[in-house]
Structure 1
Amino acid sequence: MKRRSFIQKGALSGSFLALGGAELFAMQNRLATLPKHQFNLNYAPHLGMFKHLAGEDPIAQLDFMAEQGFTAFEDNDMRNRPVELQNKIGAALQKHNMHMGVFVAHKIYWTAPNLTSGKQDLREEFLADIKASIEVAKRVNAKWMTVVPGYVDMTQDINYQTAHVVESLKQASALLEPHGLTMVLEPLNFFNHPGLFLKESPQAYQICKAVDSPACKILFDVYHQQIQEGNLIPNIDACWEEIGYFQMGDNPGRKEPTTGEINYKNIFKHIYQKGYKGVLGMEHGNSMPGAKGEQAVIDAYVSCDDFL
């Protein structure tokens, strides 16, 4: 047993012995209202991850996440949800003092060039989505939104494509900066997403340096970067000053930590020791179905977070 846990449990046991029946009952009630876990980092589940344990209602799922000790939440589809639900989610997050993680800020082009093309109409479409996402961010008190620059343009040299992307991101940054919002660029691996422009963390680092704005940072998805480039901790260190957000998923399978080859306990410890205070999105599936699988996800994060 860890020394911290032993001291906490010993202190509680001593307190129980010193209390009378009424006082003991009151303390038990107070303890029952505390989160089941006190995580060292802001891990962010998504809707549907705990639907068997919490029910189908989105707000009930948020309540359950908070009860389990999770201090953040992310939702890729937030931009497409009804405004009424966005407002309810924002209120629930505020009630539980939870951080809102990323949502996808724009239409992603998975099989055709958009930002890489340099075409003005596609750039304007992207910027219009960014403007609309600012309003979404206000409703849910979000600070970050995901941007994927889209598919490569095989008719243009990679350097021209990079210049087009950088210009679009500069214009988007000018929209976001007055609101204190940050778009995080997500490199996606070649295996799951062949043909996309942004694939590697050094490439994202170079683009963020070129954009040169606090509104444009890197979304370092550990799952994608394990497949694409590996060397995870050294690449996290090399990109550190431009990383704005993390996401997780184990490999192979893109399920919860402990189901694959990535040593998440060491990665979480490293991120914690570097002083990271942001959100780590749980962008993965559950390795097992039903309530049992959902509990396994919680247990995996409790295990990997036990690094102090």
Structure 2
Amino acid sequence: MKRGDFIKSGAALIGSATLLGNETMAATTQNKEGETFQLDYAPHQGMFSTTAGKDFVDEIKYMHELGFRSIEDNGLPTRPVEEQTKIGETLAKLGMRMGVFVVPKGGNAANTLAAGKQEHIDIFLKGCRESVEVAKRVNAKWVTVVPGNYQRNLPIGVQTANVIEGLKRGAEIFEPHGITMVLEPLSDTPDLFLRYTDQTYEICKAVGSPSCKILYDAYHQQKNEGNLINLMNLCWSEIAYIQVGDNPGRKEPTTGEINYKNVFKWLKEKGYAGIVGMEHGMSKSGVEGEKALVNAYREVDNF
């Protein structure tokens, strides 16, 4: 399917909604395809590859045509420098922002900051320095850090202190460049050290740097703790970045139990002008999946 045909299909959906009197569909397609959204949603590579092709730069251009004004790319540091530079140039030309990418070895099961081991800290700091150079090529302002797993032979207070000290060292690298590492509490396994919003808030307060804040992923926190809006509000001063995905399934909004229309309305009323990363899969494949993805965001953005 050609890009123009895909975009034009939105108009056909509007007409069918009127004829059917379907209020939900009308809300979904109230905004014309191609218009920007109320919040700055950021897709990632592969979400529109059926229509735009496999080249990421072409897909970014197509994302812009659909109304998106930011992207995410977790694996950006693994791309060749030439490709990173081309992505950065494309974003600048289109007036788009780069969302998060993951700091290389920024903390994982085998390299946990909770252990307090110098070799782990050295690996983390090397990744921070590499990330600064990557960020310059794409004008990135946020990088994701996961401190790694629990160190089971140490008391939790000692582990927390070790994480704080390691992150302070990372913040020293990022601060001069105006880059913020955003700590992401995850739900993937109970072995992870960082899992809860208030826990991450406490650590950010202790690090005490504008370069150490929270990445709040509503999918993970719906699984870990729920009470999304209240906990975001309590920890708001330390939240610098939002990601989403519905639960269960980790697909686009409207496919699970999270009322994203209310969540996004709250973010807008809160004055959030940052990126909302689309950190999820898709409920359908191919062109049908691409249409469903755009329609889902049009629906929940219509608050």
Task: Give the TM-score taking structure 1 as reference length.
Answer: 0.87
Alignment partners' CA distance in 1, 2:189 and 2:69 = 30
- Residue in 2 that maps onto 1:26: none
- Residue in 2 that maps onto 1:295: 291
Check conservation: 2:105, 2:111, Cα contact below 8 A. Answer: no
Alignment partners' CA distance in 2, 1:193 and 1:106 = 20
The 1:128–1:113 alpha-carbon spacing in structure 2 relative to 1, beyond 3 Å, is closer
Once the two structures are superposed, the pairs formed by residues 27-42 of structure 1 within 5 Å of their partners are 36-42=34-40
2:93 counterpart letter in structure 1: K
- Residue in 2 that maps onto 1:124: 122
Q: Shift in Å at residue 230 of structure 1?
A: 0.1
Higher CA-based Rg: 1
Alignment partners' CA distance in 2, 1:284 and 1:95 = 27
- Residue in 1 that maps onto 2:95: 97
Secondary structure of 2:101's counterpart equals: coil
Secondary structure of 2:235's counterpart equals: helix
- Residue in 1 that maps onto 2:49: 51
- Residue in 2 that maps onto 1:136: 134
- Residue in 2 that maps onto 1:262: 258
Task: Give the TM-score taking structure 2 as reference length.
Answer: 0.88
Q: Shift in Å at residue 294 of structure 1?
A: 1.2
CA deviation map 1:216-245 (0-9, x unaligned): 000000000000000000001001000010
Secondary structure of 1:43's counterpart equals: strand
1:92 counterpart letter in structure 2: T
2:285 counterpart letter in structure 1: P
- Residue in 2 that maps onto 1:229: 225
Check conservation: 2:34, 2:65, Cα contact below 8 A. Answer: yes
Structure 1 runs not aligned, ≥5 long: 1-33
- Residue in 1 that maps onto 2:75: 77
Secondary structure of 2:168's counterpart equals: helix
Alignment partners' CA distance in 1, 2:132 and 2:105 = 15
1:297 counterpart letter in structure 2: L
Match of 1:153 among 142, 151, 155: 151
Once the two structures are superposed, the pairs formed by residues 281-292 of structure 1 within 5 Å of their partners are 281-292=277-288
Alignment partners' CA distance in 1, 2:280 and 2:93 = 26
The RMSD of aligned alpha carbons is: 1.1
Aligned residues: 272
- Residue in 2 that maps onto 1:87: 85
Q: Shift in Å at residue 38 of structure 1?
A: 2.0
CA deviation map 1:89-135 (0-9, x unaligned): 00110011011100001215543352010000110110010000000
- Residue in 2 that maps onto 1:252: 248
The 1:47–1:95 alpha-carbon spacing in structure 2 relative to 1, beyond 3 Å, is same
Check conservation: 2:183, 2:214, Cα contact below 8 A. Answer: yes
Alignment partners' CA distance in 1, 2:250 and 2:108 = 19
Structure 2 runs not aligned, ≥5 long: 1-31
Check conservation: 1:79, 1:103, Cα contact below 8 A. Answer: yes
Alignment partners' CA distance in 1, 2:106 and 2:138 = 22
Check conservation: 1:73, 1:101, Cα contact below 8 A. Answer: yes
Runs of 4+ in structure 1 off by over 6 angstroms are: none
Q: Shift in Å at residue 53 of structure 1?
A: 1.5
